[in-house]
Amino acid sequence: MTTDVEPSENHRRIPVALSSASVYPLSVHDAFAVAQDLGYDGVEVMVTNNAVSQNPGALIQLSHRYNQEIVSIHAPTLLLTQQVWGTAWNKIERSCQMAKEVGCDTVVVHPPFRWQSNYAENFVEGVREISAMYQVHIAVENMYPWRVRGREAVAYLPHWDPMEGDYDAVTWDFSHAATAGANSLEAVKALGSKLRHVHLTDGSGSGKDEHLVPGTGTQQCAGVLQHLASNGFTGAVVAEISTRKAKVTGEREEMLAETLRFARQHLAAPVRSLEG
């Protein structure tokens, strides 16, 4: 199943890739196979405890086998990957090394947790230095405040919102924005050229990190994609939805196909009113 929507002649064809997180609990291998079957332009590899996700040689083989470019590496900076690749700085450096080996130029990282005090204090400067060292974009992802008994808890330092930091490159995630109560269109416009990477998904604003199919939540996904297509965006759009609850045969593929269709439609569409 593929989508055939093409951008107008005045628009750069922004690549639409599939995050390997979108096929969880299936494997990285499955992500490449599904991406090829559905007509995606590439894959974002999330580094996890899975051995293949940590092996650049194996990833290159998958890329060639399925004719899928690796557009980005997601560093193992999640709570669930704290044991992968040792210290926080080592996680980022090894992710950058792997990006260079597999031929991509973008590494997605989460901001530090508050208990990573020394790492957090030097995070902005350290990210900039490592980015320059490896000649890759380290795109810091927007997160959201944690709430305990209805009250906000400080989970990230220097902040969960990358707009509060002096970063050179940012990843914008619509589900995280919904959880934070943020306005994605306003944020993307404010970020301007600092926006390097987009995680295409959605959220209802329920307070949970839902990773819904775009267009089924409250975020202005369509308007943001149209804005990017018309304003010289040079990065990639990566589908990062949750399909783990898929039960019926083909349900996961249908969700991922709809996400791709949504992306291609709105990246190719002429800009209308983006304020609504």
Mean pLDDT of 98-110: 97
Q: Are 162 and 127 in contact (CB under 8 A)?
A: no
User: How do residues 30-62 score in pLDDT, each as one tens digit?
Assistant: 999 999 999 999 999 999 999 999 999 999 999
pLDDT at position 2 is: 47
Pairing mode, if any, of strands 151-153 and 146-148?
antiparallel
* 13 or 257, which is more confident: 257
Q: Residue 72: is its pLDDT beyond 80?
A: yes
pLDDT at position 9 is: 45
- What confidence tier does 275 reach under pLDDT thresholds 50, 70, 90? very low
SS (H, E, C) 83-141: CCCCCHHHHHHHHHHHHHHHCCCEEEECCCECCCHHHHHCHHHHHHHHHHHHCCEEEEE
> pLDDT over 90 for what percent of the chain?
74
Tokens describing residue 35: 């991406």
Q: Residue 123: is its pLDDT beyond 70?
A: yes
Q: Residue 70: is its pLDDT beyond 80?
A: yes
* 201 or 84, which is more confident: 201
Mean pLDDT of 211-235: 96
Q: Rounded to two decimals, what is the model's pTM?
A: 0.90
Question: Could you give all domains of the chain from N- to C-terminal order, each with its CATH number?
Answer: 16-268 (3.20.20.150)
pLDDT at position 273 is: 44
Q: Taking the CB of residue 70, how many other CB atoms lie within 10 A of it?
A: 24
Q: Residue 149: is its pLDDT beyond 80?
A: no
Side chain identity at 73, as an amino acid letter?
I
Q: Residue 266: is its pLDDT beyond 90?
A: yes
Mean pLDDT of 77-97: 91
Listed residue (204, 211, 223, 205) closest to 262, CA to CA = 223
Distance (Å, rounded) from C-alpha 261 to C-alpha 237? 13
- What confidence tier does 155 reach under pLDDT thresholds 50, 70, 90? confident
